[in-house]
Structure 1
Amino acid sequence: MALSISADALKPLFLLLLLVYCLGSSTVLSVESDAEKLPKSDVDLVEFPLNLEYLEAEFFSWGAFGQGLDKLAPSLARGGPPPIGAKQADLSPIVKDIVAQFAYQEFGHLRAIDKTVPGFPRPLLNLSSSTFATFMNDAFGIALDPPFDPYADDINYLLASYVLPYVGLTGYVGTNPKLLSPTARGLVAGLLGVEAGQDAVIRALLYERALVKVLPYGFTVAEFTDKISDLRNELGKAGLKDEGLIVPPALGAEGKISGNVLAGDEFSLSYGRTPEEILRIVYASGKENKPGGFYPKGAGGKIAKSYLE
């Protein structure tokens, strides 16, 4: 026998279903709205790290594969000019595999930032051997002979890599307390975790070789890291925020050990840097309004460009 239900009896059910649907839709819309309507200050702060992410993506992809964003993920470059002087490094299989992982991680970082803020095209980057050679000369206060070549072998490439992710992670540490929205904080925390991991891997690989001399210079790997960190402190002009692989025990964890595979303050917390400090370092000029170094025409985004006006 067929069951007969009047239209009036179904009205409450229809209204309930409609209410559930509307509530569900409004929740989804509110989440999307939160992501799309970040405070302007958050947008600027989240966009700024694109500069470092572009730099690392190109350096690691060229080092591992001999090609960069323009071949492997052209949409991520957003039409920005190709980097100067980047090339494939002569790496052992294990180091090449690690660097390849770093490259793809950086591609992911670019996608994550692009999903959250408007972004900007890849700025002109100078990844030539001469840029790294000049940085190393400045670090030691002498002209290394022959000029340092970051692409020559494992040790040189790892030392050149030592220059990069750590600067980015200190930027994320410095940025996070300034962010207002949970969306921006969550993104930056996620980026910071992987950047810190990359830096830890690089430092661990170098720490294993800390007392090995970098040929043909006669300086050890540890001495190179000390000099690089000292130069970044000097360029940043904000005190001690950088440490090499071996430090006086007073500067080690709990003031009790010289090994320094991870850099940190007196509480073993990561140091933080401002965008201004980062620009002074990556421009290699000590001035946030004087481009050079890895960014011959300056970095992108509102914060960086504000110092060039």
Structure 2
Amino acid sequence: MARCLSFLFVLLHVLNLGMVILVMAAPTCGPIKADDRDRIQLALNLEFLEAEFFLNSALGRGLDLIEPRFAQGGPPPIGARKANLDPLTNHIIEEFGYQEVGHLRAILTTIGGFPRPLLNLSRENFAMIFDEAVGYKLHPPFDPYADSINYLLASYAIPYVGLVGYVGTIPYLVNYTSRRLVAGLLGVESGQDAVIRTLLYERAHLIVAPYNMTVADFTGKISNLRNELAMCGIKDEGIIVPIELGAENRTESNILSADANSLSYARTPQEILRIVYGTGNESKPGGFFPEGGNGRIARSFLHKAS
């Protein structure tokens, strides 16, 4: 009884802060049937997304100039461009970009891959995502490439999705080589997410001009949006949370998003697709993947809609 009352207290407290919570899990939150290759190839879509976003933002060029073989003839990303980053942030993002090239190589050489899917990294797409997160149209439209703060907030929206996807994938992998590969990928994705969240936490109370919202406000709203889109409960939290949701209920800082036991959250393939499509529907492409992801799992969901 005490635990139930405690949960209700936390729930009401969070709702009072304007966070959106889905109490009932969607009926399609459970595992799917797939082999190791298909599961890892779903993640390959996100690795393409991260590689192009980081490389283009730091260097002004992407896979087609860095490692054109990896794209396998897939279309170039829409709207990718050099970001206006300070030297430290630029150096960090450049390293992340090269790391993603390594991830692509690891997946392609271990299990094989597919052509790069069409990616939408345009300012307009990010503006739509941020409008959806805050619940109204921002003026001027959010531009991820404008400065380091905007870029870090935009980056906040990407690596964490891959992280929880890998956590959700590992328990279902059968082959040792597959488990070793994904464990290695997860380690670096977790590190990237931690760096981004730390850089944002340092600026948590900074007002993001001209929107009259703090960095922490934006992270909370982005996390809420991802929970809404995935439709499978709370598996995403901003960099500041009510103390009742912090580590051991003793801190409001949330540099690493985790559950009550400080374990990483896990997401299923359908949850990941709902988020990156921005539609809340694994069968309806959009967002970062206007034509949908590639690989058997992503394409099978698209076929169900046709």
TM bracket (short chain): 0.7 to 0.9
Structure 1 or 2, whichever has the larger Rg, is: 1
Shift of 1:95: 0.2
Q: 2:115 aligns with which of 115, 121, 143?
A: 121
Structure 1 gaps, min length 5 = 1-39
Letter matched to residue 154 of structure 2: A
**Equivalent residue number for residue 8 of structure 1:** none
- Determine whether 1:111 maps to 2:105: yes
Q: Does 1:249 align with 2:254?
A: no
Corresponding residue of 2:177: 183
Separation (CA, whole Å) in 2 of partners of 1:63 and 1:215: 21
Higher relative contact order (CA 8 A, sep 6+): 2
1:45 aligns with 2:77: no
How far has the Cα of 1:256 moved from its partner?
A: 1.0
Corresponding residue number in structure 2 for 1:80: 74
Distance in 2 (CA, whole Å) between partners of 1:121 and 1:270 is: 30
Q: Does 1:283 align with 2:277?
A: yes
SS in 1 for 2:113: coil
Q: Which runs of 4+ in 1 moved over 4 A?
A: none
Q: Whole-Å Cα distance in 2 between the matches of residues 71 and 191 of structure 1?
A: 23
The secondary structure found in structure 1 opposite 2:35 is helix
The match for 1:90 among 61, 84, 87 is 84
1:168 is matched with which residue?
162
Q: Distance in 2 between matches of 1:173 and 1:138?
A: 26
Distance (whole Å) between structure 2 residues aligned to residue 118 and residue 262 of structure 1: 32
- After superposition, residues 220-259 of structure 1 pair within 5 angstroms as 220-259=214-253
**Matched position secondary structure for 1:119:** coil
Distance 2:35 2:291 in 1: 24
How many residue pairs end up in the alignment? 271
The partner residue of 2:258 within 260, 264, 267 is: 264
Q: Which residue of 1 aligns with 2:14?
A: none
Name the % identity: 62
- Structure 2, unmatched stretches of 5+, are 1-33
Give the TM-score of the pair, scaled to structure 1.
0.87
Residues 175-219 of structure 1 show CA distances to partners (whole Å, capped at 9, x for unaligned) of 000000111000000000000000000000000000000001010
**Helix, strand or coil at the partner of 1:308:** helix
Match of 1:7 in 2: none
Q: TM-score, normalised by structure 2?
A: 0.88
* Alpha-carbon offset, residue 153 of structure 1: 0.3
How far did 1:72 drift? Answer: 1.1
Q: 1:59 aligns with which of 48, 53, 58?
A: 53
Structure 2 CA distance, aligned partners of 1:41 and 1:186? 15
The one-letter code matched in structure 1 to 2:158 is: L
Which of 260, 267, 271 is 1:273 aligned to? 267
Shift of 1:86: 0.5
